[in-house]
Structure 1
Amino acid sequence: MNWLEDRIHAVLQGAAVGDALGGAIEGWSPEQIQERHNGPVTGIVGPFYENWKTARPIAPYYKGDGHITDDTLMTHALVEVYAQAQRHLDAYDIATYLVPKMMNEIRWVPEFDAEATLLQRVFLAEKWIVAKLHYGHQDPREAGVGNIVNCGAAMYMAPVGIVNAGNPRAAYLEGLDLAGTHQWSYGREAAGIFAAAVAAALQPEATAQTIFNTCLELAHDGTRAALEAMLDVVEQARKDGVVTDQTELNRRLRDGIRPFDTVGETYREPAMDARRASRTKSIEELPVALGLVLAHQGDFVASVLGATNYGRDADSIATMAGSICAALGGTPVIPQEWIQTVEQASKISIGPVADSLYTVTRTILSDDLERTRAEAHVTAQLLGE
Structure 2
Amino acid sequence: MKEQFLNKLIFQDRILASLLLAGMGDALGAPTEQWTIEEIFKKYGGLVLDFDIPPEDTFAGANAGKRGEVTDDASQMYYLARAMIAADGALDQADWVACLLDWASNSPKASFMGPSTAGIVKALQEGSDTALVGVIGTSRRKMTSVGTTNGAAMRVAPAGLIYPGNIDAACRQALITCLPSHDTNVAISAACSVAAAVSQALVSNNLHDVINGAIEGAHIGEQLASEHARIVAGPQYIARLEMALSIAAEATNDYSFLTRMERMVGNSVLAAESVPAALGVVAYSKGDALRTIALSASIGNDTDSIATMAGSIVGALVGTEKLPQNLIQEFKQANKADFDLDKLALALAAIAGRNHG
TM-score interval, normalised by the smaller of the two chains: 0.7 to 0.9
Indicate the residue corresponding to 1:197 in structure 2: 197
Residue 256 of structure 2: aligned partner: 248
Describe the shift of the 1:368–1:298 C-alpha distance in structure 2 as closer, same or farther (beyond 3 A): closer
**Are residue 164 (structure 1) and residue 163 (structure 2) matched?**
yes
Q: Which residue of the other structure, out of 81, 84, 92, is the alignment partner of 1:82?
A: 84
Structure-to-structure mapping, 1:121-200, within 5 angstroms: 121-136=112-127, 138=129, 146=142, 147-185=146-184, 186-200=186-200
- The 2-side partners of 1:131 and 1:57 are apart by 20
| CA contact 1:79–1:353 (8 Å) conserved in 2 | no
Q: How does 1:110-129 map to 2 (within 5 A)?
A: 119-129=110-120
Aligned to 2:3: none
Residues in 2 aligned to 1:356 and 1:166: alpha-carbon distance in whole angstroms? 20
| 1:342 to partner: Cα distance | 1.8
Q: For 1:339 and 1:85, how far apart are their aligned partners in 2?
A: 29
Q: State the partner residue of 1:70.
A: 72
Q: Equivalent residue for 2:231?
A: none
The 2-side partners of 1:144 and 1:191 are apart by 21
1:350-369 pair list within 5 angstroms: 352-363=340-351, 365-366=353-354, 369=357
Q: 1:344 to 1:363 in 2, by over 3 A?
A: closer
User: Which residue of 1 is the match for residue 240 of structure 2?
Assistant: 226
Residue 151 of structure 2 aligns to a residue in which SS? Answer: coil
**2:215 is the alignment partner of 1:216:** yes
The one-letter amino acid of 1:122's match is M
Higher relative contact order (CA 8 A, sep 6+): 2
Q: 1:332 to 1:349 in 2, by over 3 A?
A: farther
Q: Is the 8 A contact 1:19 1:316 kept in 2?
A: yes
CA contact (8 A) 1:119 1:127 kept: no
Letter in 2 for 1:71: D
What does 1:17-96 align with in structure 2 at a 5 Å threshold?
17-47=24-54, 49=55, 52=56, 60-63=62-65, 65-95=67-97
Secondary structure of 2:96 counterpart? helix
Match of 2:16 among 3, 9, 29: 9
**Cα offset, 1:364, TM superposition:** 5.8
Residue 285 of structure 1 pairs with residue 274 of structure 2:
yes
How much has 1:246 moved relative to structure 2?
1.0
TM-score between both structures, scaled by the size of structure 2: 0.81
CA-CA distance at 1:90 after TM superposition: 2.5
Distance 1:57 1:183 in 2: 21
Is 352-361 or 30-39 further displaced after alignment? Answer: 352-361
Letter in 1 for 2:312: S
Q: Distance in 2 between matches of 1:168 and 1:139?
A: 29
Give the Å deviation of 1:310: 0.6
Displacement, 1:137?
5.2
Instruction: State the shift of 1:297 in Å.
Output: 1.4
Instruction: Give 3-state SS (helix, strand or coil) of 1:80's partner.
Output: helix
Cα distance in 1 for residues equivalent to 2:352 and 2:321: 26
Give the direction of change, closer, same or farther, for the CA distance of 1:57–1:154 in structure 2 (3 Å limit). closer
User: How far is the alpha carbon of 1:303 from its aligned partner?
Assistant: 1.4
1:32/1:2 CA distance change after superposition, 3 Å = same
**Helix, strand or coil: the match of 1:182?**
coil
Kept in 1: contact 2:120–2:130 (CA 8 A):
no
* Conservation of the 8 A alpha-carbon contact between 2:33 and 2:59: no
Rounded Cα–Cα distance in structure 1 between residues aligned with 2:335 and 2:250: 39
Matched residue, 2:102: 101
Q: Which amino acid aligns with 1:5?
A: Q
Given candidates 331, 334, 337, the residue that maps to 2:320 is 331
Between Structure 1 and Structure 2, the one with more helix by share is 2
Structure 1 unaligned spans of 5+: 110-117, 268-274, 276-281, 370-385
Q: Tell me the C-alpha RMSD between the 2 structures.
A: 2.8
Q: If you compute each CA radius of gyration, which structure gives the higher value, 1 or 2?
A: 1
Match of 2:289 in 1: 300
- Once the two structures are superposed, residues 6-61 of structure 1 have per-residue CA deviations (whole angstroms, 9 ceiling, x without a partner) of 111111111110000011101101111122334432221233x3xx3xx5877632
Paired AA for residue 152 in structure 2: A
In 2 relative to 1, CA 338–144 (structure 1 residues): closer, same or farther, beyond 3 Å? Answer: farther
Quick one: percent identity of the two aligned structures?
29
- Does structure 2 conserve the Cα–Cα contact (< 8 Å) formed by 1:143 and 1:181? no
Q: 1:285 touches 1:317 (CA, 8 Å); kept in 2? A: yes
TM-score with structure 1 length normalisation?
0.76
